[in-house]
Chain A
Amino acid sequence: MSDIRRTVDARGQACPQPVILTRKALAEGGFDLLEVIVDDASSQENVVRFAQYAKCEIAGVEEDGTVSRILIRPGAAAPRAPEARVFAAPEPVPAPAAVGPDTTVFISSAGIGTGDEQLAALLMRAFLYTLTEAEAAPARIILMNGGVRLAVEGSEALVNLRRLTDRGVEILACGTCLEFYQLKDALAVGRVSNMYEIAGLLLQGRTLSI
């Protein structure tokens, strides 16, 4: 039995159009294999990265000169075969984050800026809420020092951090910091990371420091 295949031809389309077309096709479903045709290296990279965020499998990338064909196998969350849609839950699968450039948000305190502490905490909550509503979510949020307090049990920021992970944003909390504040067992969202990984991520792509 052969796979039901769908092709998205995104040649000549400027960023972020290839990613948008890929996301749309994945949301519609109805195929086993999606072939996305692009004609520049950054589009290829963005589509591959997006598919990975959307928990899809990259079945292959065929390159022919400047044109490349990316073969994507939808993840378990995506509607696959047409008949599967009949039994699909009425609640639509949340659309994965629109991936802009590879952006890391680095948060090193529980509030934004210095001044009144209560205001700083409020601004942080408001900032995280606004990120959940933003068109292009960051790829990841790194929490360090006091920032790890945002991701532990009882934090008022938890609800928005969880919404962000639902959108495909990765949350990394500094393990040393969690240990220092004796909060290692209280981490409620994201995963523990270390300085090697964090430094590597901060040096790659674009970092926004809060």
Chain B
Amino acid sequence: MDLIATFPSSQAALRAEQALKGTMAVELIPVPRQIRGDCGFCLLVQAGADGAIELRRCGAQELWRVTTTQADPSSRKVKSYERYS
């Protein structure tokens, strides 16, 4: 599954990225508007339940599950987010 992990600061997100790189598919991205309005970085990861535990261990504040939907191949992909616990 795709998970978004938010952190208390951009530096914390960056530190977590460095720590997790190589252990899972992790990407540092801007926090999606639907999650938080202010500017900031978060991690987008492809992980299972154990990955979620690892993210929390690295200081993740909130975890959000990403669902991508696409009505048909020509239309835009729409991402939605729900809290993951």
For window 22-49 of chain A, which residues contact chain B by CB distance below 8 Å? Answer: 23-24, 26-28
> Is the beta-carbon distance between A27 and B30 smaller than 8 angstroms?
no
> Is the beta-carbon distance between B74 and A129 smaller than 8 angstroms?
no
Interchain pairs with CB closer than 8 A, number: 32
Interface string of B1-35 (1 = CB under 8 A from A): 00000000010001000000000000111100000
Question: Within 8 Å CB of A92, what residues of B?
Answer: 70, 73
Say yes or no: is A125 at the interface (Cβ < 8 Å to chain B): yes
Say yes or no: is B76 at the interface (Cβ < 8 Å to chain A): yes
Q: How far is the CB of A163 from chain B (nearest CB, A)?
A: 11
In chain B, what residue has the closest Cβ to A132? B29
Interface string of A33-77 (1 = CB under 8 A from B): 000000000000000000000000000000000000000000000
Residue of A26, A126, A135 near B28 (CB, 8 A) is A126
Taken together as a complex, chains A and B put the C-alpha atoms of A92 and B76 apart, in Å, by 12
Question: Within 8 Å CB of A23, what residues of B?
Answer: 74
Please give the number of chain B residues whose Cβ is less than 8 angstroms from any Cβ of chain A in the complex.
13
Question: Within 8 Å CB of A93, what residues of B?
Answer: 73
> Is the beta-carbon distance between A27 and B27 smaller than 8 angstroms?
no
Say yes or no: is B50 at the interface (Cβ < 8 Å to chain A): no
A-B pairs with the 8 shortest C-beta distances? A27-B74, A92-B73, A126-B30, A24-B74, A129-B29, A27-B73, A95-B74, A23-B74
Interface residues of B (CB under 8 A from A): 10, 14, 27-30, 41, 70, 72-76
**Given known contacts A26-B74, A122-B10, A130-B29, what 11 new A-B pairs fall within 8 Å (CB)?**
A24-B74, A93-B73, A95-B73, A95-B75, A95-B76, A122-B28, A125-B28, A126-B29, A126-B30, A129-B27, A135-B76
